[in-house]
């Protein structure tokens, strides 16, 4: 398991009320890796934060952690229309 995925999973699980419902998936590509986050619908606000500050902070930490990997890393948090109910 990639250290980047572990970092994101740890951060997200500490933020939410239902950490057992959090799923963090790593999709590896040739030049880009994507970390997808799924959580309880009530917890997305805690992950995103006001004006997206928390999710942007997580993205910054991810970029710092992954800077030596030679790949681009994206953090995907689904918007309201694309979340499972």
The 10s digit of each residue's pLDDT in 3-15 is 899 999 999 999 9
pLDDT in the model for residue 13 = 96
Q: Is the pLDDT of residue 38 over 90?
A: yes
Quick one: tokens of 57? 């902070």
User: How deeply is 8 buried, as exposed, middle or buried, from its count of CB atoms within 10 A (0-12, 13-18, 19+)?
Assistant: buried
Confidence of residue 2 (pLDDT cuts 50, 70, 90): confident
The 10s digit of each residue's pLDDT in 60-82 is 999 998 888 888 999 999 876 66
Unique residue bearing structure tokens 């040739």: 30
The 10s digit of each residue's pLDDT in 40-51 is 999 999 999 999
Structural domains in the chain plus CATH codes: 3-79 (3.30.300.20)
Quick one: tokens of 44? 């997305």
Measure the CA–CA gap between 26 and 2, rounded to whole angstroms. Answer: 8
């Amino acid at each position: 398991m990639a250290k980047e995925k572990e970092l994101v999973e740890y951060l997200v699980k500490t933020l939410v009320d239902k950490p057992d419902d959090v799923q963090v998936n790593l999709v590896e590509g040739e030049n880009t890796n994507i970390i997808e986050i799924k959580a309880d619908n009530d917890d997305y606000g805690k992950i995103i934060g006001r004006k997206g500050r928390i999710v942007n902070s997580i993205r910054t930490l991810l970029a710092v952690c992954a800077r030596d990997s030679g790949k681009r890393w994206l953090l995907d948090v689904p918007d309201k229309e694309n979340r499972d109910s």
